A = this chain, B = another copy of it.
Amino acid sequence: MSETIEQKCLSKGVKLTDQRRIIAKVMSESSDHPDVDELYKRVSKVDPKISIATVYRTVKLFEETGILTKHEFKGGKARYEELNESHHDHLIDVKTGEIIEFVDEEIEKLQNKVAQKHGYKLVDHKLELYGVKINSKDE
Query: What residues of chain A have their CB less than 8 Å away from a CB belonging to chain B?
Result: 72, 74, 91, 93-94, 100, 102, 104, 106-107, 110-111, 114-116, 118-135
Contact = CB atoms under 8 A, between A and B. Distances in A.
B133 A119 contact: yes
Given A91-B115, A114-B102, A126-B127, A120 B132 contact: yes
Task: Give the oligomeric copy count.
Answer: 2
Between A110, A115, A120, the greatest number of chain B beta carbons within 10 A of the residue's beta carbon is seen for: A120
Contacts of A115: 91, 129, 131
Contact of A125 (B121, B125, B129): B129
Contacts of A93: 120
Given A91-B115, A93-B120, 13 more contacts: A72-B72, A91-B114, A94-B123, A94-B124, A100-B120, A107-B107, A111-B127, A111-B129, A116-B134, A118-B131, A120-B131, A122-B130, A125-B129
A108 to B, nearest CB: 10
12 contacts: A72-B72, A74-B126, A91-B115, A107-B107, A107-B110, A111-B127, A114-B129, A118-B131, A120-B131, A120-B132, A125-B128, A127-B128
Contact of A118 (B91, B107, B111, B127): B91
